[in-house]
Amino acid sequence: MKKDGESNTSLSSNFIHNIIDKDIEEGVYNGRVHTRFPPEPNGYLHIGHAKAICIDFGTAEKYNGLCNLRFDDTNPTKEDVEYVESIKEDVRWLGFDWGDRLYYASDYFDKFYEYAVKLIKKGKAYVCDLSPEEIRQYRGTLTQPGKESPYRNRSVEENLDLFERMKNGEFEEGSRVLRAKIDMASPNLNMRDPVLYRIQYATHHRTGDKWCIYPMYDYAHPLEDAIEGITHSLCTLEFEDHRPLYDWVLRECEIENPPKQIEFARLNLTGTVMSKRKLKQLVEEGYVDGWDDPRMPTISGLRRRGYTPEAIKDFIERVGVSKSNSVVDMSMLEHCIREDLKLKVPRVMGVLRPLKVVITNYPEGQVEWLEAEVNQENSEMGTKKIPFSRIVYIERDDFMENPPKKYKRLSPGVEVRLKNAYFIKCEEVIKDEKTGEIIELHCTYDPKTKSGTGFNERKPKGTIHWVSAEHAVKAEVRLYDRLLLDVDEDDEKSDWKDKLNPNSLEMLTDCYLEPFVAKGKPGDKYQFLRHGYFSIDPINTTENKLVFNRIVALRDSWKKISSKK
């Protein structure tokens, strides 16, 4: 584990690095290490992709190698330039640079076609007229071998002719595919004559209408790696069963010094979903406000919420790299952002649910500017001035008219300290005549008790935060919580939307903050005393409206809540 202040760019040594160390020692790839991060541009990246980004780029950096950013844009019906740009932004934000090595699978469509022709000529691929449903039926099961397609033994000449006609747009979509000729009795279903090409009449975001046949990912992926000179192709564990096909494509296409595929466990988090398909459902069905909604586990959502690249990298470092899938508790990620921010950000007083307090014996019109540290744990951040006046706001929860015995905040006849200011005592409670709701407190203060004077003649019941009503900055504050109620949520459950937390967002529109935040810019972060860490929202904040997102509470209360269910 790295210490505070050290770079988290590359991960600690792990089994992937052990494999690479052995390759270097044995002179494989002449000591080169060249990786790639290959996202599909069909959605926004989430924190699971952040793990892959850190592993791909971090491994290359560890060995002074190279890492490409490559878009696997082989399915034009699901891809969009919006996703391409968001992915580039996310990778840059995490602190990684692909230099001049930005590539697309579509860069190689001509080469893929040439390799497919080569496979046909070798008798290793054929055009199949079975429908998608028939292909599934012929494929067999885990316990039963598949059946050979009746079109499997077409001549090389016929296959070359049909494949060219597929390319030329002579056949209907779904009527024919190009399949590899491997082994329909293989125990690995991926090797039972997998589809290499399908017909799709769709406009591609880069190649337009040049192509109407598109390669399947399992065929394109190894060839992309080979064309780019990748040495170690790092994938998540679900691709382990695809590795024999990866190696078959490279072998039959006669690739010299082929890349090596290595699989690692994907990242799963409690309290959220990590399936791109399900995240897309949340967006399209209106459960969240876009891909960058701060409740989403997307990198853009975490960024908007106020998470930092350093915290995410630290989290991934702590999770580690293994070969076994597991679920990581969200509280670990929350711990990492607290650790990252605690010495970095200013600490301010903010009243989220205000209760008006009139200090009746404080002179009307008088204002004192009290001095306080910007961050009590980091004196290098200096000091600030806080205005104090006759009318202040305190947190509604910090007053109780009939408190229990051990209550340590304000109540009738009880004295508490206003942080960095004076002792006050509640003398009178003002209520709404119709509803009985407490709307105002009348208190008195003792001028001898000013903070910093050394007054110690008596102790207050407790210390509470406050803001001067005249000087307070009004803001909207959004309190975010877990997206799912069930912290043990299995991403594959069909009823996952029933687990959505109805209280994942609470919007407070009548909040008051000390004036220190008035000059804050979108993205600036603060600790609100006793409430947690907050960031100025970059989307909804305007010149006339300040909006804060809660990044994380000061303590992990979720475990206590969930343990009571």
| Of the candidates 320, 112, 327, 113, the residue with the CA atom closest to the CA atom of residue 221 | 112
- Helix pair 156-167, 109-121: axis angle to 10 deg: 160
Is 70 among the catalytic positions?
Answer: no
Write down the catalytic residue from 179, 198, 243, 276.
276
Q: How many CB atoms lie within 10 A of CB 371?
A: 11
Query: How far, in Å, CA of 478 to CA of 462, rounded?
Result: 27
Strand partners for 444: 425
Write down the catalytic residue from 78, 118, 266, 278.
266
Is 165 among the catalytic positions?
Answer: no
| Of the candidates 298, 307, 88, 80, the residue with the CA atom closest to the CA atom of residue 205 | 80
Q: Give, in order, the Cα–Cα distances in Å from 48 to each of 223, 257, 314.
A: 25, 30, 14
**Three-state SS for 328?**
strand
480 touches 549 (CB < 8 A): yes
Query: How far, in Å, CA of 440 to CA of 433, rounded?
Result: 12
With tokens 């210390």, the residue in question is 463
Please enumerate in sequence order all residues whose Cβ is within 8 A of that of 365, keeping only pairs 6 or more positions apart, or say none.
Answer: 390
DSSP label of 363: P
H/E element holding 519?
none
Write down the catalytic residue from 2, 40, 240, 353.
40
Please enumerate in sequence order all residues whose Cβ is within 8 A of that of 429, keeping only pairs 6 or more positions apart, or say none.
Answer: 401, 412, 438, 441, 442
Question: Exposed, middle or buried: residue 246 (CB in 10 Å: 0-12, 13-18, 19+)?
Answer: buried
Is 3 among the catalytic positions?
Answer: no
Question: Exposed, middle or buried: residue 155 (CB in 10 Å: 0-12, 13-18, 19+)?
Answer: exposed
With tokens 């649910």, the residue in question is 353
353 touches 397 (CB < 8 A): yes
Q: Give, in order, the Cα–Cα distances in Å from 445 to each of 366, 386, 388, 414, 422.
A: 14, 17, 12, 12, 7
Task: Please provide residue 320's backbone torsions phi and psi, each rounded to the nearest 5 degrees.
Answer: 80, 180
| Of the candidates 524, 528, 534, 531, the residue with the CA atom closest to the CA atom of residue 513 | 528
Query: How far, in Å, CA of 59 to CA of 318, rounded?
Result: 16
Alpha helices in 126-275, H assignment, sequence order: 132-139, 156-167, 217-227, 243-252
CA 552 to chain centre: 14
Altogether, the residues listed in the chain come to a count of 565
Query: How far, in Å, CA of 114 to CA of 529, rounded?
Result: 64
Please enumerate in sequence order all residues whose Cβ is within 8 A of that of 89, keeping only pairs 6 or more positions apart, or say none.
Answer: 300
Strand partners for 526: 534
71 touches 104 (CB < 8 A): yes
Positions marked active-site: 40, 266, 276
